[in-house]
Amino acid sequence: MHSSLPSNLPRSQDGFHWTPQEGLQPGLPSLGVITPETEIKQARQTHDVIVVGAGYAGLSAARNAAKSGLSVLLLEARDRIGGRTWSSNIEGYPYELGGTWIHWGQPHTFREIYHYGMKPDLEVSQDHSRGVNRFDLITPDGTKSMSHKEEDALLESAVRKFIDVDGVLAREVMPFPHTPNANPDIAKYDKLSMADRIDQIKDDLTPSELAALEGFVLLCSGGKANNTGFYDIVRWWALGFYSYQGILDTCVTYKLRGGQSSFARRFFEEAKATGNLSYAFRSPISRINSRDNGVQVIAANGKQFTASRLICTIPLNVLGTIQFDPPLAPAKQQAISIGQINQCSKVHAEVRNPELRSWSGIAPSNKLVYAFGDGTTPRGNTHIVAFGADVNPLHPEEDVAVTKQSFTDLVPMDIQRVVFHNWSKDPYAQGAWCMFEPGVGTTYLDALRARHGNVLFANSDWATGWRGFIDGAIEEGSRAAVMAQEELGTAKPVSHRL
């Protein structure tokens, strides 16, 4: 254990940590690391359900299936739960390496927050009560500073112009955000990229609106202007109660005091407490065979497991690395070969600048396009969270000097610690939260959701509601568990149109 990483927690191989004293070190301590890594009851025997992947989709599926009395084997490639959402506690402070913010308007998530009694754990990222209390719009022409009220007005104006293709702020385009393709004309809007849409409205935007909009939309997408589907930005808008404030509230405001891994852990512990859960971490798989009487999965180390059903929660961008027999349907294969476009780089800095607690910035031409004060560490330092996008990719571990420069190009700061997980280079993620290029959301959603024999697919990447969010993962895991329960006889059918 490094001196700069004081923690009683076991350490994941995932993530990176840099301090001036220690330099760059791989691995981070986390509540999400499971020890011992394997606990398989009734070895060699078949299970009712194998769940592949222990992110929120897999955890929800495994927990619900185990609670209904099914025997479950959970296989996870990593040494930890949480998938693209996990937190590392460093000096008692949680850094969120992936998914972070939740909101009571995310129904699957908030039902779980109630279930686990975690409402008192909610806290607000932003604190505008102290420090510079300022927003900087940073472009090659220089930095324009303004109040957060002005920031909100600027972005609200720009985002409304961007969204308003139907004169009713997308309520016609997407009248039911949890049924995103309900409008039969939706494919028309799904042809547009973010760049196409900006092109349509650019004469209506001030230079500041354009720069702020580019930064904001790149924050949402983690991609590029020309491969980010306009449809997916409309989706966030509709899910965010058709308002800019709603997007802020739902996507970058409320987080968990103990970190996301404290939440994920509850799912795992509840599943374990049923007595019906076996699990093996550090167990990547290579092959899934669907047979008439069940499924067979072959791990990378050659071990084989069988079950009546398999719930595959492997992310879209990773599915292509798994061999399926029989082969997947052509539409699913096409969707997998297209993938999703989010290569966001999320990086945390602990900085000796208490005044930045109330700072935020957008810099569409920088390697980090969006950043803000996200907390105060136990040392009294400010925690800055920052996001880059694929348009100007940052792989923070490749050159820490470049990474630090990407922060200080935003605003001067004295960096004492950098923490991150490179999702692009992670073989089990190959990207961040799901964002589609134009056409994919309307063409391939059903194919991605379709079963393959006795294999069910559950991942936030093809959720119908909060796709790409924690909420979508829980939605999907719950859907798959109900299907397995109904088919294996522990529940009577209740859901006729899932």
The residues of the shown chain that bind a copy of itself, judged by CB under 8 A, are 67-68, 104-111, 114-120, 122, 124, 175-179, 241-243, 245-246, 249, 266, 269-270, 273-274, 464-465, 475, 478-479, 482, 491-492, 494-498
Kindly tell me which of 50 and 277 has the beta carbon lying closer to a copy of itself: 277
Kindly tell me which of 149 and 191 has the beta carbon lying closer to a copy of itself: 149
Place of tokens 């599943």: 271
Kindly tell me which of 104 and 439 has the beta carbon lying closer to a copy of itself: 104
Distances from the Cα of 426 to the Cαs of 49, 125, 307, 317, 381, in angstroms? Answer: 27, 27, 28, 11, 29
Kindly tell me which of 172 and 325 has the beta carbon lying closer to a copy of itself: 172
Instruction: Specify whether the CB–CB gap between 445 and 464 falls below 8 A.
Output: yes
CB of 121 to a copy of itself, least distance (A): 9
CB of 344 to a copy of itself, least distance (A): 25
Whether the bond between 326 and the residue before it is cis, its omega within 30 degrees of 0, is yes
387 assigned binding-site residue: yes
The set of residues, in sequence order, having a beta carbon less than 8 Å from that of 343 and lying 6+ positions away, is 222, 223, 389, 390, 393, 423, 424, 431, 432
Distances from the Cα of 123 to the Cαs of 103, 254, 257, 467, in angstroms? Answer: 11, 6, 6, 23
**Residue closest to 105 by CA, chosen among 266, 222, 242:** 242
Distances from the Cα of 252 to the Cαs of 204, 245, 366, 441, in angstroms? Answer: 27, 10, 20, 23
Kindly tell me which of 144 and 178 has the beta carbon lying closer to a copy of itself: 178
Instruction: Specify whether the CB–CB gap between 298 and 285 falls below 8 A.
Output: yes
Kindly tell me which of 163 and 349 has the beta carbon lying closer to a copy of itself: 163
Dist CA 337 CA 333 (whole Å): 6
DSSP for residue 67 = H
Kindly tell me which of 108 and 197 has the beta carbon lying closer to a copy of itself: 108
If residue 123 lies in a helix (H) or strand (E), which one and from where to where? Answer: strand 122-124
CB of 119 to a copy of itself, least distance (A): 5
77 assigned binding-site residue: yes
CB of 33 to a copy of itself, least distance (A): 21
Q: Torsion angle of alpha carbons 343, 398, 380, 90, nearest 10°?
A: 80
Kindly tell me which of 246 and 393 has the beta carbon lying closer to a copy of itself: 246
CB of 496 to a copy of itself, least distance (A): 5
CB of 326 to a copy of itself, least distance (A): 28
Amino acid at 256: L
CB of 268 to a copy of itself, least distance (A): 11
Dist CA 160 CA 240 (whole Å): 13
CB of 273 to a copy of itself, least distance (A): 4
Dist CA 358 CA 356 (whole Å): 5
Binding residues: 76-77, 387
Q: Provide the annotated binding site for substrate.
A: 387
